[in-house]
Amino acid sequence: MKICVLVKQVPGPDSPLLISDDKKWIQEEEIDYAMNESDSYALEEALQIKERLGEGEVVAASLGPDRVQKTIREALAKGADRGIHVKDDYPSTDSYVIAGQFALALKEENFDLILSGLQSDDTGMGQTGLMLGEFLGMSTSTLVMETDISEGKLRVKKELEAGWFQWVSMDLPACITIQSGLNTPRYPSLRGIMGAKKKEIKVMESTPQGELLQSLEKIYVPKKTKLTEMIEGDTDQVVAKLVDVLKRDIKVL
């Protein structure tokens, strides 16, 4: 089983988000990067599928400038076998473009299964994985919460709304996008970290962006419209004031 996982490098949860002067993106120098959260669940699922089957290969692929190799290395340290870096110094925010670049770069590999997180923590479009599946003519599913592969068929548990689920079976090759919480992502071992240095990362230099289907005009801090009553003071003061609010205003004490 030849498995690919798309891992995106995004600003980590505590990274500063300062808007750049041209208002098109955030200031790159200030960002603390991390692997996109749902992608780390996808990576773990890929590694577990390989372990369950007792055979196969897990390839971690990422698109972006040279810094994304750090995220690929992290995947290698956790157990991915090799990496593919689709190089683009100025990656687009249009999922169609990104999926198209991945399709070009990964086509020849003929993967049986491609996994990715269901959406990225930066643009949050939730399109890339499914678009890649469509470009490559694969079966697709999003919101995957469990996987089961036997006899060349894939069965996934899909999350529906409001706490409902559904099992879906599909033919391979398939391209699925993973919802958080389906497993417990592992930490890299020291041996894994050492071993990762020797694993191959193939750099794909020329995958042109082509036409953009949508463009980001500008970004800004959301306008505040709600009048929130802010309770201020030191810890003892805010606690006393809050108890007062609970008693007098909300009347729950």
Ligand X SMILES: Cc1cc2nc3c(=O)[nH]c(=O)nc-3n(C[C@H](O)[C@H](O)[C@H](O)COP(=O)(O)OP(=O)(O)OC[C@H]3O[C@@H](n4cnc5c(N)ncnc54)[C@H](O)[C@@H]3O)c2cc1C
> What is the contact surface with ligand X in residues (CB under 6 A)?
13, 118-119
Is residue 246 involved in binding other proteins (CB under 8 A)?
A: yes
The correct pick among 83, 91, 117, 133 for binding other proteins (CB under 8 A) is 133
Q: Pick one of ligand X, other proteins, none as the site partner of residue 203 (Cβ within 5 to 8 A by kind).
A: none
Residue indicated by tokens 């991945």: 102
Question: How many amino acids of this chain bind other proteins (CB under 8 A)?
Answer: 79
- Evaluate whether 9 touches 67 at the Cβ level (below 8 Å): yes
Is residue 203 involved in binding other proteins (CB under 8 A)?
A: no
Residue indicated by tokens 């079976």: 169
- Among 79, 44, 77, 82, smallest CA distance to 61 is for 82
Q: Which helix (H) or strand (E) holds 236?
A: helix 235-244
Give the residue closest to ligand X by C-beta.
Answer: 13
- Evaluate whether 132 touches 101 at the Cβ level (below 8 Å): no
Is residue 151 involved in binding other proteins (CB under 8 A)?
A: no
Shortest reach from residue 231's CB to other proteins, in Å = 5
Which lies closer to other proteins via its Cβ, residue 48 or residue 139? 139
Is residue 152 involved in binding other proteins (CB under 8 A)?
A: no
Q: Under the phi-then-psi rule, with left for phi > 0, alpha for psi from -120 to 50, and beta for the rest, what region is 17?
A: beta
- Evaluate whether 80 touches 59 at the Cβ level (below 8 Å): yes
Is residue 28 involved in binding other proteins (CB under 8 A)?
A: no
Query: Under rule CB under 8 A, which residues in 81-110 are in contact with other proteins?
Result: 94-96, 99
Contact stretch for other proteins (CB under 8 A) within 56-64, 83-91, 200-208, 220-228: 220-228
Is residue 215 involved in binding other proteins (CB under 8 A)?
A: yes
Shortest reach from residue 47's CB to other proteins, in Å = 17
Q: Which amino acid is at 78?
A: K
Is residue 130 involved in binding other proteins (CB under 8 A)?
A: yes
Contact stretch for other proteins (CB under 8 A) within 42-50, 77-85, 176-184, 197-205: 176-184
Is residue 142 involved in binding other proteins (CB under 8 A)?
A: yes
The residues near 2 (Cβ < 8 Å, ≥ 6 apart) are 56, 57, 59, 109, 110, 111, 112, 113
Shortest reach from residue 152's CB to other proteins, in Å = 13
Sign of CA dihedral 41, 62, 118, 120: positive
In the sheet that holds 82-87, the strands lie side by side as 153-159, 139-150, 174-178, 113-117, 2-6, 57-64, 82-87, 201-204
Is residue 32 involved in binding other proteins (CB under 8 A)?
A: no
Which lies closer to other proteins via its Cβ, residue 34 or residue 196? 34
